[in-house]
């Protein structure tokens, strides 16, 4: 009798475990993203662009970042579209101000003014990684955003903006952060490049200098404060 109760208890426990496992597997299956069709022309183009654009470190102000920018512009022009370069000039003081804004928004703290010690830290940081950087030799650098708009024929249409950055941190090729959304934006642009009946204006903003204080985004928001931005990265 006692052994029968043990068997029933064991079977009940096993049943509960199987039910829980089935529930977990079902949940994972539901949230797992669909697999891409690797034969789809857009997917093939995305992978091609990703492989040739995410080739190495593309830190703001470097020739590698300029090369990446040129590749994105060439891809846009191959669609018969025109890209606008939104250029800003940043110094060490401007960079410190950008970091100040980020600290204020994220943590509610203040960094204080840029003193000689902090300036020396910034210069040492740049020198250790990029001794030929323009910040060191000319005191400023260019931060170049790329901006494209697909216009709706409806004068009362609203606007959607997609944003991602093409620069990287100091030691990564930046495939996931953020060349993957860059190539996805390019394919979304390609899909609607010839659409003359858009329900909304679509803006594509490829920002520079994100990894060192969101510099391009800061400059764009200052120069175009009335634009509504939907961030994808």
Burial class (CB in 10 A: 0-12, 13-18, 19+), 167: buried
Tell whether 11 is covered by a domain.
Answer: yes
Average pLDDT (25-33) is: 61
Residues 54 and 2 in one domain: no
Residue 147 belongs to a domain: yes
Give me the pLDDT at residue 99, please. 87
Q: Give 88-101 pLDDT, tens digit per residue.
A: 999 999 999 988 88
Give the separation between CA 88 and CA 113, rounded to whole angstroms: 22
Domain count along the chain: 2
Evaluate whether residue 45 is within a structural domain.
yes
Over residues 38-63, the pLDDT tens digits come to: 788 888 899 999 998 988 899 999 99
Residue 102 within a domain: no
11-36: average pLDDT: 63
Domain CATH for 45: 3.40.630.10
Higher pLDDT, 106 or 46: 46
pLDDT in the model for residue 233: 43
Higher pLDDT, residue 221 or 10: 221
Q: Are residues 195 and 164 in the same domain?
A: yes
Q: Is residue 81 part of a domain?
A: yes
Residue 31 pLDDT more than 90? no
Based on the domain organization, do 161 and 225 belong to the same domain? yes
Within this chain, do residues 10 and 45 fall inside the same structural domain, yes or no? no
Q: Are residues 27 and 45 in the same domain?
A: no
Q: Are residues 60 and 23 in the same domain?
A: no
What is the model's pLDDT at position 230? 47
The pLDDT, as a whole number, for residue 12 is 59
Task: Please determine, for residue 229, whether its predicted confidence score (pLDDT) is greater than 80.
Answer: no
For range 202-212, the mean pLDDT: 95
Q: State residue 192's pLDDT score.
A: 94
| 188 and 210 share one domain | yes
- The confidence score (pLDDT) of residue 22 equals 64
**For the segment 119-171, what is each residue's pLDDT rounded down to a tens digit?**
899 999 999 999 999 999 999 999 999 999 999 998 888 888 999 999 999 98
Query: To the nearest whole percent, how much of the chain has pLDDT over 90?
Result: 54
> Is 130 within the bounds of a domain?
no
**Domain span at residue 5?**
1-32
Question: Are 214 and 169 within one domain?
Answer: yes
Both 57 and 26 in a single domain? Answer: no
- Considering the domain architecture, whether residues 78 and 1 belong to the same structural domain is answered as no
pLDDT score of 67 more than 70: yes
Q: Are 28 and 48 members of one domain?
A: no
Residue located via tokens 């993203």: 33
């Amino acid at each position: 009798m006692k052994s029968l109760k043990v068997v029933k208890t064991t079977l009940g426990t096993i049943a509960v475990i199987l039910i829980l496992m089935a529930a977990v597997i079902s949940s994972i299956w539901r949230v797992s993203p669909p697999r891409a069709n690797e034969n789809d022309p857009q997917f093939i183009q995305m992978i091609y662009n990703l492989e040739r654009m995410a080739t190495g470190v593309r830190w703001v102000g470097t020739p590698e970042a300029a090369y990446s920018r040129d590749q994105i512009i060439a891809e846009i022009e191959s669609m018969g579209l025109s890209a606008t370069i939104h250029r800003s000039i940043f110094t060490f003081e401007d960079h410190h101000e950008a970091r100040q804004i980020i600290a204020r928004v994220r943590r509610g703290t203040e960094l204080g003014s840029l003193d000689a010690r902090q300036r020396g830290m910034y210069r040492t940081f740049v020198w250790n990684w990029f001794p030929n950087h323009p910040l060191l030799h000319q005191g400023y650098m260019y931060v170049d955003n790329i901006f494209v708009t697909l216009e709706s024929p409806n004068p009362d249409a609203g606007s959607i903006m997609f944003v991602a950055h093409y620069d990287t941190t100091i030691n990564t090729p930046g495939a996931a952060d953020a060349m993957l959304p860059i190539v996805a934006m390019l394919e979304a642009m390609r899909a609607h490049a010839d659409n003359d009946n858009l329900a909304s204006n679509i803006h594509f903003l490829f920002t520079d200098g994100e990894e060192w204080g969101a510099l391009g985004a800061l400059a764009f928001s200052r120069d175009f404060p009335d634009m509504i931005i939907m961030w994808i990265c």
